[in-house]
A = this chain, B = another copy of it.
Amino acid sequence: MWVQKEITLSRHPRGFHIITDHIIRELPQIKDISAGLLHIFIKHTSASLTINEDADPTVRIDFESHFNETVPENAPYYRHTLEGPDDMPAHLKSAILGSSVSIPIGGGKLILGIWQGIYLCEHRDHGGSRRIVLTVNGD
């Protein structure tokens, strides 16, 4: 069984945002799968996806602070500067965090640890809406 669906996430401000419930709502077919995988892919190079703690919101604030510190704007070695100071760091952060996550499905549910949530990582100041491809494969 394959399910594939492209969805649009409305504009999120720069930072890290939990989208777990949004993704699950889009995929009622998960409840029919006893064993499988969900693949989530973002069709952009300046926003990314990861999995991390979904409880204390200060974790997401610290993610934004940390990546701004280690992937700074206006680094003297950047040559790709025409699209604004937030653009090249956004490309680098996307590659470090990744453009997809995949999560096991078992017993009709996503198998996530108790503290795990899916993050949309918006690295641009004005990233606009973002397109995501959801692919489910399972029995």
Contacts and interface: CB of A to CB of B under 8 A. Distances in A.
Interface of A: 2-4, 6, 35-37, 39, 41-45, 50-53, 56, 58-59, 61-63, 65-66, 69-71, 75, 77-80, 88, 91-92, 94-104, 106, 111-116, 119, 131, 133, 135, 137-139
A27 to B, nearest CB: 14
Given A80-B58, A104-B135, A116 B43 contact: yes
Contact of A41 (B80, B103, B138): B103
A101 B99 contact: yes
How many chain copies? 3
A52 B35 CA distance: 28
21 contacts: A2-B139, A6-B111, A35-B135, A37-B135, A39-B102, A41-B102, A44-B113, A45-B52, A50-B99, A51-B95, A52-B91, A52-B95, A56-B80, A58-B80, A59-B80, A59-B91, A63-B95, A65-B78, A66-B92, A99-B101, A104-B135
What is the interface of chain A mostly: helix, strand, loop, or mixed?
mixed
A59 B80 CA distance: 6
A92 B63 contact: yes
A36 B95 contact: no
Contacts of A95: 50-52, 63, 97, 119
